[in-house]
Amino acid sequence: MLPLLKRAFSGFLLLVTLLLGVPFTAFASSIPYSALRITTTGGGNITLAPGEVKNIAVSFQNKGSQTWKNDGNGYISLYTYGPKYRASVFDPGTWLTPSQVKRMGEEGVKPGATGTFLFSLKAPKTLGTYKETFALASENINWVTGGDFTLNITVQASSTANAPAVDPRPDDPVGRASSRQGLVPVSTVAPDASIGYSASLVTQTASKMKVLAKKTISFSAVIQNTGTKTWKNIGLSSSAMNIASGSSDFRNSTWSGNQVALLSQTVKPGATATVQFFFTSPSVNGTHTAKFQITADGISIPDSFVTIPVEVTGGSAEALDAPLESGVSNPSSVPAALITEPTIRVGVLIVDEETKDEAVITSFESDFDLIDTDGTILGSYPRGKEIRTAWDGANYLYNDGAHKKSSKPLRFVPKTPNAVMTITNFDRRLTRGTSFANNTFRNVLELRYNTPNNRTWVINELPLEYYLRGLAETSDSSPVEFQKALLTAARTYAFYHWTHSTKHRAEGFHVDAYQDQVYWGYDQEARTPRITGGVQATRGQIVTYNGDTAVTSFFSRSDGRTRNWSEVWGGNVPYAKSVPVPCDVGKTLWGHGVGMSASGALCMAKDGQDWQSILKYFYTGVDISQRW
């Protein structure tokens, strides 16, 4: 079966819902407030010196049926737990109360999306090992199922002095209610202190943004240590901003003074770190520039900044002399605020007799940690160390030279973000007769058993744009504009399922590597550099209809026309209408016929049509929108 033909399965869930007259939302979780923890600083293992303040970031996917909010009735926040409502000795004086830690950073998080909680801990003077448990709650409604986690904290003496914590200002009119973090301030240091410190911005959420006024924006930047010194922490400061007040004020309640973000993470020379932070769009229309200084170990790194051109619409009178950026999309097709690039979970391998009911995993590119889904580090290994894993019906087994077990799913996390992991006992050349092994995948691999289908998956968790690089839906030699059209449709399809999280919810991932869109991972990425170029050229852009994400079905070839959605699956989808495909006339239909004909799109690209025109031809009345 051709890879594109397999997309015929992608409409199955929609077919069922339409035939039964059941709305898509009916397949969402019946639990109003439920969560799946995605990331935790340090994997949940924290080391502090007495009196040291450290910033913690925890992210959860909204697995329930209700949208999370950070204000109003039922807002989502983090409380101490185990026992609940207890006063914690780690409260640095910046929590909402001694037992209520922090509200969610995002204004709203829909089901399937991810919310972030940034807060600080201050170590007590007494040395020892502590376990601090926290849980999410919907205020005055209920605790969030799956929203609890435990930090394993070691307080030990340090040979180096710690920078003092920032205390809330006594004259701060917002005070504790602002939930300001007790962040370590940027130190005032002698000029030569920066020797050995150098940084390079690898990538960021967006090169420019178009947003409404006074919106809280979540943003991420990947920063590489290009110097000779190992960093103990990395941060961003607003002190270097040439505009810090008035019409171009970007301040956000998550900042502490001029400290925008601080991540406690060891970053060796050549390694990278991802810093997530928040800022507020200015109140005045026009183009503004947010410029944040990159810092490491309290030192401002020379000539190292995160710069974000921000065009504000829907605010007060326009800023004077604010030139419009060239190449910015039509405002009607741009959402109110861009989001952080989604992290998608892909089911890549069912662990069964093909691999003798086990998965052997390593990384030949990076050292890596083995972490359970509670965030507990089970082991740290050098690159090339193979770990045998399996599910025995009751526990997850792993062998790193000794037989061990865990009651929680196992996550293999490379020390270098997005480094390549390998399933060494899986080779498609041997078991599936293909030309390539296709057993390498970027970023995290997770071994997870699920009860509904009684099977164990290896799940690949990675940024969505890297996922697109590993797709095998077209050849590397196809026309660039065709590639861009196909990749944007594929991005939209993946984003739809990331947002709705219905299709493979029970098995813990968003898309299947074979039944949804054919994904072969890093091996495919390495073989198709032009596909990677197409991904980069369309980064973050999806197909929308009236502002909502479209379901971008595509198939191999029509017989001269595409089909209305109603002809194939019933119901009415306004953007999935029949259109003629002249170059397919006289040919046999391959696939379901709804949406974009790949062969028709290929003809259009060869005739000089650009990728946006191709998409807008096959999907009626749609826009192309920048989402991250």
- Position 227 scores a pLDDT of 84
Which of 433, 561, 492 lies closest to 7 in space, CA to CA?
Answer: 492
The span from the CA of 91 to the CA of 95, in Å, is: 6
Q: What is the mean pLDDT of the chain?
A: 80
User: Phi and psi (nearest 5°) for 566?
Assistant: -65, -30
Q: Report how far apart, in Å, the C-alpha atoms of 604 and of each of 31, 481, 598, 617 are.
A: 46, 9, 10, 10
For 415-440, what is the mean pLDDT? 92
List 446's β-bridge partners, or say none. 411, 459
Which of 490, 527, 535 lies closest to 511 in space, CA to CA?
Answer: 490
- Position 504 scores a pLDDT of 86
Q: Is the pLDDT reported for residue 196 higher than 50? A: yes
The answer to whether the CB of 293 falls within 8 A of the CB of 236 is yes
For 461-481, what is the mean pLDDT? 94
Q: Is 582 exposed, middle or buried (0-12, 13-18, 19+ CB in 10 A)?
A: exposed
The span from the CA of 255 to the CA of 237, in Å, is: 9
Spell out a b/e string for 513-526, using b for 16 or more CB atoms within 10 Å of the CB, else e. Answer: bbbbbbbbbbbbbe
Quote the longest CA-to-CA distance of the chain.
Answer: 81
Q: Is the pLDDT reported for residue 4 higher than 70? A: no
Q: Report how far apart, in Å, the C-alpha atoms of 150 and of each of 172, 515, 598 are.
A: 32, 36, 49
List 80's β-bridge partners, or say none. 134
The span from the CA of 493 to the CA of 471, in Å, is: 13
- Position 392 scores a pLDDT of 94
Tell me which of 178 and 542 has the higher pLDDT. 542
CA 154 to chain centre: 29
Per residue in 457-470, pLDDT (tens digit) is 999 999 999 999 99
Which of 490, 543, 538, 509 lies closest to 441 in space, CA to CA?
Answer: 509
| Rg of the chain on CA atoms, in Å | 25
Torsion sign (Cα): 542, 547, 548, 550: negative
Comparing 35-165 with 194-340, is the CATH topology the same?
yes
Q: Is the pLDDT reported for residue 487 higher than 90? A: yes
Per residue in 105-120, pLDDT (tens digit) is 888 888 888 888 878 8
Q: Is the pLDDT reported for residue 28 higher than 60? A: no
The answer to whether the CB of 216 falls within 8 A of the CB of 252 is yes
Helix axis angle for 611-618 and 598-606, nearest 10°, is 140
Tell me which of 59 and 136 has the higher pLDDT. 136
Which of 185, 188, 207, 196 lies closest to 302 in space, CA to CA?
Answer: 196
CATH topology of domain 35-165: Immunoglobulin-like (2.60.40)
- Position 502 scores a pLDDT of 65
Which of 62, 75, 64 lies closest to 139 in space, CA to CA?
Answer: 75
Tell me which of 483 and 211 has the higher pLDDT. 483
Residue 401 gets the label, from left (phi > 0), alpha (psi -120 to 50) or beta, of: left
C-beta neighbour count of 580 within 10 angstroms: 12
Rounded to 5°, the CA angle 313-316-322 comes to 60
The span from the CA of 538 to the CA of 145, in Å, is: 37
Domain residue ranges of the chain, discontinuous segments joined by +? 3-16+344-356+425-626, 35-165, 194-340
What is residue 226's DSSP assignment? -
pTM for the complete prediction?
Answer: 0.51
Q: Is the pLDDT reported for residue 570 higher than 90? A: no
- Position 332 scores a pLDDT of 34
- Superfamily grouping for domain 194-340: Immunoglobulins (2.60.40.10)
- Position 277 scores a pLDDT of 80
The span from the CA of 146 to the CA of 241, in Å, is: 40
- Position 579 scores a pLDDT of 94
Q: Does the bond joining 3 to the residue before it have cis omega, within 30 degrees of 0? A: no
Which of 280, 81, 92 lies closest to 176 in space, CA to CA?
Answer: 92
Residue 375 pLDDT grade (very low, low, confident, very high; cuts 50, 70, 90): confident
Tell me which of 325 and 38 has the higher pLDDT. 38
For 257-266, what is the mean pLDDT? 79
